[in-house]
Structure 1
Amino acid sequence: MEQKFKRNIGWLQGSAMTIGAVLGSGVLVLPSLAANMAGPVSLISWGLMGVLTIPLVIVLAKLSTLYPSAGGIAAYARQAFGERAGRITGCLFLGTVPFGAPICALIGAYYLGHFFLLDAGGVTIIALGMLIIAVLANYRGIRFSGNVQALVVIGIAAALLASIIAAWPMVRKESFYPFAPNGWVPVGTVMTVLFWAFVGWEMICHLAEEFEHAKRDIKRSLCISLVVVNLLYLGLAYVTIGTGVYLEQENLTSLTGLLESGWGRLAGSIVALLGVAACYATIHTYMAGFSRLVYSEARAGNFPKWFGRLHVTYGTPYRVLIVLGPFSMMVLLTGLLLQLDMSILIQFPGSIFIALYIIAMAAGIKLLPPKSISYYCAWLACIVCIIIYLFSGWIGVYPPLLAGASWLFSRQRIRVKNGAISG
């Protein structure tokens, strides 16, 4: 008897999961980094990225309602281009969350460690705690997990909104002149950096089978998250430039300087908690989506069948989480022991996400009705993602190498299977 997910996600949980996936540590760092790179004109970069995200979200919303599957983008690739394309896309996901989650946890733990002056061991313990909590919350069930995420995201949004309000009276008109001190070329350069702040929308697609009213609530969740994320990003970018805090503080501490104007010595503790909460929210949603993807591929026979089981009580792909948790912790500890550069490591899963967006948009071009709004959105988003991918440098070689290895493995597996049948 085939197991099925429990349909108990509403638009509130869906919105929280999506916002949590998109908002990460970048919200604390990127407004200042972008301002340092381009000056006040970086506001246009933020606005353009927000606008360009719209067609991407429209396509994902349409695909997830037409083809609701825990496989997400892998399922769309399979539907559009065949079984092997779906299998390769699923394998690409294996190079994301297991490595990205521990790195994100370490970044979040750093904020708390920086405030309390903890050493590397203390920071690692906090990061391990974040991973354990994310695994346990997702193991317990998507309804419980979504409610936890909703509370976390509401806290993050409230704190960021309060930061914007506190700094707004300090905004000075002269801070916006000259508007483009380094010319207009940096607008495009900054957009390639800001792309990482707009990754995460695809994770809701993996939860499509668990929505109570998928056709209505997935679109609603994506629309709400799109509005909330863009308003918070633009608001933070505006006050960061208007107060001139990016000229006085390092990128990592600029939000602290922003908050000090309104909240004094509380600023450091607030930023520390924000860093942990923002990174945890991202880890939480990505673990939820990744576990569903692996379960879906196991159900389709592409991954070991052992992963294709749901928990009898909670209805979650618990076996994936049982493996994902320890593996992520091992990656975290390995990075600590070898003193690996996390800023470079995080770019590897990042390059895969751009490649996955390109695959999703290409699938949209193939699957969506020609001459429809979503069809044209797929073309536009695909072209934009390809352009951004070209700016990823040598790290852009990683997704094709992983895809090639997956293709060879898939080909060998088919040969073995055919040999067994003929024998």
Structure 2
Amino acid sequence: MSESSLKRSITWVQGTTLTIGAVLGCGILVLPSITASNAGPVSLLSWTLMSLLAFPIVLTIAQLAKKIPSAGGIMAYIAHAFGAKTSALLSWVMLGSIPVGLPTIALTGAYYVNDLLPTNRWGVVCIAALILLTSLLFHVKGIDLSAKVSVLAICLILFLLVMAVIVAFPYVKISSFTPFAPHGWFPVGSASVVIFFSFVGWEMITPLAEEFKRPGRDIAISLVLGAGCISVLYLLVSFVTIGTHAYGTSNGMASLSMLVAKGWGHSGIIITTVLALFITFSTVHANIAGFSRMVYAQARAGCFPAKLARLHPKFQTPVHVLAALGGAFAFILLLYGTIALDLENLLKGPSVVFITSYIFTMLAALKMLKSLTIGWFMALLSLLITVIVLFFSGWAIVYPVALAVVGAVFLHLKKTKRTND
């Protein structure tokens, strides 16, 4: 095997768990409660709507992955549709997603642990650092080991979530669903915008295409099964949250704790903490997998420094990208520990980056797929959804624009240097 070739070892089972891990975040612990508090029982309709709308995005990405099975993922699709320059600029925009977003997610999981075992802010930072470091070390060893770890983590997460629903289900009351829309029907739309961010991350499976044993078949299976599993989980948790009226408290994590406490009493908070920790790790783990391969592929294409395109001589993993990610994670955590940045604001920038990447991906799909086919219409519907959500981004829209400018400067200087040489 060539040193520049990634090892093919991922099956559809591992691909499905990596997909679930990339999308299923800590939002499932708090968003059903938040949306129910803001909209009432009608929020269940918002969850149903967004679950259904996730499938056009997933199926569009699956078709593109089958057409171009590359470690470049969505960057490869955009390069094919709009040229290498557009892809290179979007690659720089994507640099502002995972390096900032994952430390924030790790901090969220660390705060769940802090609720059970109180410590200070730097203690929370250390817990988050441990989550990130553990995942990075697994990825250095290879995607096969990382995928197996993901299978184990997702199985435990699914077990705990299903158990939470089962123990709470007997306490569901029909009266909890009336009035169904206490604040009117407009909150269905506003709740859907919040819920949309629980359905991002599908694109992180596509950069692993060169490491799937059968990418043409298994990527589509992984995406569809992952979407189905996540949609069912979200709907079940939302249903029992509303049905047991486990919402309306000031504690962000109270929703699932209250559900589990229905059957397990005070130990429910311990179970919720363990669940939050595993969900956090799984999300971090799957997104590092996809993002590191995307950066590696773009460095291989000349968009980033060539050093990032080097693989580990033994494990055939993008170790230089992983090391760079480790440095970025450390910077964000140190920044948070020093000046206590707001976690919600930290997530706004990466969220807009993901929305921007979806818009370009769907535009690429409209150009690459045959016009007026089912796939083409799915891409059009997905484009409309993401554009509407982008309008609610506010000041954060400046973030991807700034990253694109930095990328343009780098690529211009590189071109100038190459010309002078």
Normalised to the residue count of structure 2, the TM-score between the two structures is: 0.97
Q: CA deviation at 1:312?
A: 2.2
Q: Name the amino acid aligned to 1:399.
A: P
Query: Taking structure 1 as reference, are residues 140 and 2 closer, same or farther at Cα in structure 2, changes over 3 Å only?
Result: closer
Q: CA deviation at 1:45?
A: 0.4
Q: Which residue of structure 1 lines up, in the alignment, with residue 7 of structure 2? A: 6
Once the two structures are superposed, the pairs formed by residues 165-314 of structure 1 within 5 Å of their partners are 165-248=166-249, 250-314=251-315
Residue-pair matches, total: 420
Alignment RMSD: 1.3
Cα deviation 1:301-327 (Å, max 9, x = unaligned): 111111111222211111111221132
Q: CA deviation at 1:407?
A: 2.7
Residues 3 and 313 in structure 2, CA contact (< 8 A), matched pair in contact too: no
Q: CA deviation at 1:368?
A: 1.2
Q: Name the amino acid aligned to 2:283.
A: T
Q: Name the amino acid aligned to 2:6.
A: F
Once the two structures are superposed, the pairs formed by residues 299-338 of structure 1 within 5 Å of their partners are 299-338=300-339
Q: Which residue of structure 1 lines up, in the alignment, with residue 131 of structure 2? A: 130
Residues 3 and 316 in structure 2, CA contact (< 8 A), matched pair in contact too: no
Residues 20 and 282 in structure 1, CA contact (< 8 A), matched pair in contact too: yes
2: distance between equivalents of 1:405 and 1:247?
A: 43
Instruction: Work out whether 1:31 is the aligned partner of 2:15.
Output: no
Residues 60 and 375 in structure 2, CA contact (< 8 A), matched pair in contact too: yes
Residues 12 and 222 in structure 2, CA contact (< 8 A), matched pair in contact too: yes
Query: Taking structure 1 as reference, are residues 143 and 2 closer, same or farther at Cα in structure 2, changes over 3 Å only?
Result: closer
Q: Which residue of structure 2 lines up, in the alignment, with residue 69 of structure 1? A: 70
For the residue of structure 2 that corresponds to 1:332, the secondary structure is helix
Question: Which deviates more from structure 2 when the two are superposed, residues 390-399 or residues 230-239?
Answer: 390-399
Residues 249 and 257 in structure 1, CA contact (< 8 A), matched pair in contact too: no
Once the two structures are superposed, the pairs formed by residues 353-364 of structure 1 within 5 Å of their partners are 353-364=354-365
2: distance between equivalents of 1:48 and 1:417?
A: 51
For the residue of structure 1 that corresponds to 2:168, the secondary structure is helix
Q: Name the amino acid aligned to 1:174.
A: S
Residues 84 and 407 in structure 1, CA contact (< 8 A), matched pair in contact too: no
2: distance between equivalents of 1:251 and 1:39?
A: 17
Gaps of 5+ in 1: none
Q: Name the amino acid aligned to 1:212.
A: K
Q: Which residue of structure 2 lines up, in the alignment, with residue 52 of structure 1? A: 53
Q: Which residue of structure 1 lines up, in the alignment, with residue 150 of structure 2? A: 149
Q: CA deviation at 1:2?
A: 6.6
Q: Name the amino acid aligned to 2:279.
A: A
Q: CA deviation at 1:80?
A: 0.5
Instruction: Work out whether 1:113 is the aligned partner of 2:114.
Output: yes
1: distance between equivalents of 2:389 and 2:340?
A: 29
2: distance between equivalents of 1:414 and 1:168?
A: 62
Q: Name the amino acid aligned to 2:196.
A: F
Residues 176 and 242 in structure 1, CA contact (< 8 A), matched pair in contact too: yes
For the residue of structure 1 that corresponds to 2:247, the secondary structure is helix
Q: CA deviation at 1:253?
A: 1.5
Residues 56 and 377 in structure 1, CA contact (< 8 A), matched pair in contact too: yes
Q: Which residue of structure 2 lines up, in the alignment, with residue 98 of structure 1? A: 99
Cα deviation 1:127-155 (Å, max 9, x = unaligned): 11101101001111001000001100111
Q: CA deviation at 1:228?
A: 0.6
Q: Name the amino acid aligned to 2:284.
A: I
For the residue of structure 2 that corresponds to 1:380, the secondary structure is helix
**Percent identity among equivalent residues?**
41
Q: CA deviation at 1:121?
A: 2.5
